[in-house]
Amino acid sequence: MNYFIKINVVSLLYALMILVPVELMVNGYRLTRLTGWERETVMDVSGFMIVAIFLIGTVFLYFLTGKWMEGRRASYWTAVLWFPYFLLFMYVIATFFPTKYGGDAPNPAAGLLIIGALVTFPFYVLVMNFLSLGTDDHQMEGIKLE
């Protein structure tokens, strides 16, 4: 597979990894109304899903980055390239699923949490790239021990 495609697929997966928790936070009231569940139940399930997606995504992307990026420093571009995919997904979701009912609007605290998550997420991506590319397997590939 072409390296350009690999780096874009990894960036797309990083965007999905932050998109799902953001959408769960923003659409809590909508999920409560549509499912008929209590608000606390929706928040508990959403919290569990956010943690599960974060943990599973971290493990999956750690191994995928280590395998696909082949120790190249160009993989650090994923810290920037996830954002256009995130904006594209947000635009598509907002276009196809607009908030028509006023009670579904998120509270202002959710916006502050989302801003904090979006500011810290590039650093998370950089750390993930550093850890997955910094393993001994990738550093020792070109060195012959005699």
Determine, yes or no, domain membership for 26: yes
Structural domain including 87 reads 3-139
Determine, yes or no, domain membership for 135: yes
Determine, yes or no, domain membership for 9: yes
Determine, yes or no, domain membership for 144: no
Determine, yes or no, domain membership for 100: yes
- Could you give the CA distance from residue 127 to residue 125 in angstroms, rounded to a whole number? 5
Answer yes or no: are the C-beta atoms of 12 and 80 closer than 8 Å: no
Determine, yes or no, domain membership for 146: no
Determine, yes or no, domain membership for 34: yes
pLDDT of residue 135: 59
Determine, yes or no, domain membership for 72: yes
> What's the pLDDT band for 23 if we cut at 50, 70, 90?
very high
* Average pLDDT value over all residues in the chain: 88
Task: For residue 23, give both structure tokens.
Answer: 């959408």
pLDDT of residue 145: 45
Burial class (CB in 10 A: 0-12, 13-18, 19+), 5: exposed
Inform me whether the pLDDT recorded for 137 exceeds 90.
no
pLDDT of residue 124: 95
Dump pLDDT digits (tens) for 27-81: 999 999 999 999 999 999 999 999 999 999 999 999 998 888 877 888 889 999 9
Q: How many domains does the chain have?
A: 1
